[in-house]
Amino acid sequence: MTALLRMTMLNTNQTVSYSESYQNFKSSRQGIIMKMQDLHGKVAVITGASSGIGEASARLLVAEGMRVVLAARRQDRLQKLARELGEAALVAPTDLSNPEDVIRLFDTAKMQFGGVDLLFNNAGLGYNAPFADSKPQEWQEMIEANLYGVLRCTHAAIPLLRGRPGAMISTVSSVGGRYGLPGWSVYNATKFAVVGFHDALRKELGPEGIRVALIEPGAVWTEWGFNVPAESMRERRQALDALHPEDVAQALVYSFAQPPHVLVEEILVRPVKQIVP
């Protein structure tokens, strides 16, 4: 059972299965706390694991008993995190813009663990600028990280996800994948593309039992956001009481820990004070 939610009959110490408790609920109408999947021993590949949402997700998944492959470019940060997490963590320095790095990442996961239960496409970046003033080099970086990185990792992961009950591809999109924002037009374009890709992919992989899900965060206290003065970003996040990376990590675990036949397709999670977008 997960550390988040466990199923027990109220006022007893009896632990029951999901199907047993459902029957008990129908017959007795007693309160039931829903059982989630036991995540112990499952394997996750996490991109962008060196900071922010990826780092927080690695910690929470390991706390749930999972093994994690930590992928990012900043090897020193990955190694520091792996030392904290212990034997459950494997460091895999990866530049997602390099197709050979991506192949090596999933070859490593296959060799070490035999397969993958969760691909968490978390790496991404955004440059702020009115489109008329934006730089093609920055377009390219956003498209590489936010779209091509997702495509490469997802393509390489699918063979390792097949045949594993409850397997999931979960990708961090954004509220910017639902709403256009001035100054973020190319970033919005990459995230709208991710949303469309996942909708089609869900229909392709669902019949095989592979779940395809999106998490769409609003403002989060992370390193994300180039070309915005640090003080302006800090003030905005402070005013909104922005999410912490751990909040988004909890959304990931909630989604992944559902029973294998259950798909939480999209989670839009934002600070309660963030009324726009």
Q: Which residues are catalytic?
A: 187
Q: Which tokens sit at 98? A: 């390099």
* Helix/strand/coil for 246: helix
Parallel/antiparallel/unpaired status of strands 211-217 and 168-172: parallel
Residues whose CB is less than 8 angstroms from the CB of residue 209 and which lie 6 or more positions away in sequence, other chains included: 165, 166, 167, 260
**Which secondary structure element, helix H or strand E, spans residue 28, and what is its range?**
helix 18-28
Q: Which of 41, 52, 51, 92 is nearest to 70 (CA)?
A: 92
* Helix/strand/coil for 42: coil
**N- to C-terminal Cα distance for the chain?**
36
Angle at the Cα of 265 from the Cα atoms of 141 and 159, rounded to 5 degrees = 65
Q: What's the rounded Cα separation, in Å, for the pair 142 and 97?
A: 11
**Residue 66 contacts residue 237 (beta carbons within 8 Å):** no
Strand-pairing partners, residue 74, are: none
Residues whose CB is less than 8 angstroms from the CB of residue 11 and which lie 6 or more positions away in sequence, other chains included: none
Rg (CA), the chain: 19
